[in-house]
Structure 1
Amino acid sequence: MTVRKAAAGFTLIELLVVLAIIATLMSIAAPRYFEHLDRSREASLRQTLLVVRDAIDRYHSDIGKWPDDLDTLVAKRYLRKIPVDPVTERSDSWLLVPPPGEEEAGVWDLHSGAEGTAKDGTRFAEW
C-alpha cells in the first residue's frame, strides 16, 4: 500500500475567503482614514491661520504699519517661511485682506484660497 502525501499550499477557496475578508475590512477602514485626513487638514489650516495672523499683529505692533505682503514677514523674521495652505497644498493661494477703511495699504488679514466647505459647513475662504 502506498501512502499519499498531502499537498502543501492553499486551495483557491481559502484564498478567495481571505481576500473577501481583507476587502471587507478595507471598505470599513478606508472611509474613516480619508475622513481623518480631512479633519487633520482643517485643524492644520486653523492653526496656520492663527500663527500667521499673530505674526501680522506682532509686525503691526512693532513697526507701526501693516506688512506689505507675506514676504515682508519672512524678511523681517516674523515667519520662517511663507506657510503652505494645507487644503490647497500651495503657498501662493492665500487671499490677502487689506486694512478696512484705511488709506494705508498692506496685509491686515488672510484667508485660505481653497474652494469648498469644511465639515462644519463653513467655507474655507471665510475662516
Structure 2
Amino acid sequence: MFRKIRQGGEKGFTLIELMVVVAIVGILVTLAEPSYRIATTKAKEAALKRDLYVLRDTIDQYHADQGRYPAALADLVDKGYLRAIPNDPFTNASNTWVEIYVSEGEESGIYDVHSGSDVIGTNGTTYNEW
C-alpha cells in the first residue's frame, strides 16, 4: 500500500528540492543586486574623481611649463604630458569631456574639464558639475 519514493540505488534530488534551491538563490540575488549597483556606481565615481584630478593636474603642469593653457586635450598627449586621454567612466568615451575655456586678455585655452554625463551622482549633483 505504501511505496518508497526513493529506492536504495537511486541518487539525486527531487524536483521540489531543486525548485526550493532555485527560489532561495533567486531571493538572494534580488537582495544583493541593489548593493551591487551601488558599489559599481561608487567605483565609477572614484574613477571619475581620479581622472578629473589627473586631467586638471596635467593642465596645470602644461600651463606652468608652456606659459599657456592647451588649446585642446589632445595637446596634452601630443606634448607627452599624457599617454592617452582617459575615458569618462560614465560615457565610456574619451571625447565627451566638457572643456572649460579661459579667455583672459590674449591667453585662451582649456583650464578645466568636467564629465560629459548629466546623470545625478550619489552626492546629489550631476557628474558634469564635478
| TM-score normalised according to structure 2 size | 0.90
CA displacement at 1:101 relative to structure 2: 3.9
Partner of 2:63: 60
Stretches (4+) displaced over 3 A: 100-103
Q: CA RMSD in A?
A: 1.3
Give a deviation string over 1:28-55, Cα, whole Å, max 9, x none. 1111111100011011101100000000
Identity, in percent, stands at 44
Unaligned runs of 5+ in 1: none
Partner of 2:121: 118
- Where 2:58 maps in the other structure, the secondary structure is helix
- Given that 2:102 and 2:109 are in contact with CA atoms closer than 8 Å, whether structure 1 keeps it comes out as yes
Unaligned runs of 5+ in 2: 1-6
- Where 1:108 maps in the other structure, the secondary structure is strand
Partner of 2:111: 108
Aligned partners of 1:5, 1:49: CA distance in 2, in Å?
67
| TM-score normalised according to structure 1 size | 0.92
Letter aligned with residue 36 of structure 2: Y
Partner of 2:72: 69
